[in-house]
């Protein structure tokens, strides 16, 4: 028996062991992925099972488009909360996205390294601050300022927009900055070689090339804005009415659930689960729409 044959016989058991280990790792990774999917499925099914009976009892139209939320009188209309959630999300995106995107552009293309080393950790620190701390800051600082300028107590849509705009900045800045840096350098070099200025290159070449990643950051920011609860509760005033202006008090869908879930019972409890169903469907439709836009932007 020659030397090569002996070596092959020694290698075969090792190869089998390696294959077994790889299959075990693959099975473990599959179970992890399956757990994530099952978690979402179980939560979704539970919410729908608990929430749909209330929608059937109250009536879909009355529940979604009802203007009054008064559980003591069996009135469960969530339209003011839907409008409040939409206003808050749009306001925070209008304020937060331009600031976050321009900050990402500055850090990726214009800022010197020493300044980047200072700003980047500060942005990461923003992401690590608990939402209740943001809400407490808004309650102590932002709300009194708004009260002094506009009156009305200060607990308002404007206060919530300011706080939420700050909260979504880390998501927009980090993902947008990464997307901008991922643009091939040849794009920038070609633009500059054709006579474009550095600023023209950034806004006409680099940002359009990175638009899929930038839109992805907006999608995540929208999800954060819609789902935020604690910070909003502390500064919004929580009046279940459609806000007439940015200084008006309002209530979001998430705040409505969080405020009343601890003591709700009977139809009120079911109505809160039904609010979760509406919120779930709303977020799913919005995410699918934004993901579709992101996909088209990446083509």
Q: Is the dihedral of CA 114, 119, 124, 128 positive or negative?
A: positive
Of the candidates 143, 148, 103, the residue with the CA atom closest to the CA atom of residue 124: 103
Single out the residue of 74, 208, 228 nearest to residue 160, CA to CA.
228
pLDDT digits (tens, 9 = 90+) for 268-288: 888 889 888 888 888 888 778
Residues 6+ away with beta carbon under 8 Å from 105? 176, 180, 202, 207
Q: Which residues of the chain have pLDDT under 70?
A: 1-15, 294-299
Q: What are phi and psi of 69, to 5 degrees?
A: -115, 105
Per-residue model confidence (pLDDT) at position 6: 52
CA gap 63, 280 in Å, rounded:
15
C-alpha distances in angstroms, 110 versus 57, 116, 120?
59, 9, 14
Q: How far apart are CA 42 and CA 161, in angstroms?
A: 33
* Cα angle for residues 219, 222, 226 (degrees, 5° grid): 145
CA-to-CA distance for 273 and 288, rounded, in angstroms? 22
Instruction: Find the helix packing angle between 79-105 and 211-227, rounded to 10°.
Output: 140
Q: Alpha-carbon distance 50 to 58, whole Å? A: 14
Angle between the 253-260 and 79-105 helix axes, to the nearest 10 degrees?
Answer: 120
What single DSSP character describes residue 110? I
Sign of the C-alpha dihedral computed for residues 74, 80, 86 and 92 taken in this order: negative
Q: Which residue has the tokens 């680099």?
A: 206
Q: The tokens 């009120």 sit on which residue?
A: 268
Task: For tokens 């009194």, name the residue.
Answer: 144
**What DSSP element (H or E) covers 70?**
strand 69-70
Q: Which of 271, 278, 282 is nearest to 53 (CA)?
A: 271
Q: Are 168 and 126 in contact (CB under 8 A)?
A: no
Sign of the four-CA dihedral 44, 46, 47, 49:
positive
Residue 2 confidence (pLDDT)? 52
Between CA 156 and CA 132 the distance in angstroms is 17
Give the pLDDT confidence score for residue 297 in this predicted structure: 55
- Whole-angstrom Cα distance, residue 95 to residue 81? 21
Q: Is the dihedral of CA 75, 158, 229, 221 positive or negative?
A: positive
Measuring CA to CA, which residue among 224, 286, 222, 229 is closest to residue 257? 229
Q: What is the pLDDT of residue 87?
A: 92
Structure confidence by residue, pLDDT tens digits, 122-175: 888 888 888 889 999 999 999 999 999 888 788 889 999 999 999 999 989 999
């Amino acid at each position: 028996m020659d030397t090569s044959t002996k070596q092959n016989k020694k290698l075969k058991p090792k190869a089998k062991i390696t294959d077994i280990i790889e299959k075990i790792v693959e099975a473990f990774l599959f179970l992890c992925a399956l757990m994530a999917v099952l978690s979402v499925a179980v939560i979704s099914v539970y919410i729908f099972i608990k929430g749909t009976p209330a929608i059937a009892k109250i009536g879909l139209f009355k529940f979604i488009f009802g203007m009054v939320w008064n559980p003591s009188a069996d009135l469960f209309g969530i339209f003011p909360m839907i409008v409040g959630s939409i206003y808050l999300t749009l306001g925070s995106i209008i304020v937060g996205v331009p600031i976050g995107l321009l900050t990402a552009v500055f850090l990726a293309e214009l800022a010197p390294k020493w300044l980047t080393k200072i700003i980047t950790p500060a942005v990461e620190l923003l992401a690590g601050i608990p939402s209740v701390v943001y809400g407490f800051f808004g309650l102590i600082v932002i709300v009194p300022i708004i009260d002094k300028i506009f009156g009305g107590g200060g607990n308002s849509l404007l206060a919530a927009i300011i706080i939420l705009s700050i909260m979504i900045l880390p998501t927009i800045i980090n993902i947008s900055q990464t997307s901008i840096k991922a643009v091939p350098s040849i794009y920038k070099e070609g633009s500059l070689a054709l006579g474009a200025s550095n600023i023209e290159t950034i806004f006409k070449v680099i940002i359009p090339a990175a638009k899929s990643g930038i839109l992805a950051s907006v999608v995540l920011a929208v999800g954060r804005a819609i789902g935020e609860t604690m910070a909003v509760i502390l500064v919004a005033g929580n009046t279940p009415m459609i806000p007439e202006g940015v200084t008006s008090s309002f209530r979001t869908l998430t705040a409505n659930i969080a405020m009343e879930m601890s003591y709700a019972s009977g139809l009120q409890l079911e109505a809160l689960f039904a609010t979760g169903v509406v919120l779930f469907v709303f977020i799913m439709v919005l995410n699918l729409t934004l993901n579709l836009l992101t996909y088209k932007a990446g083509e």
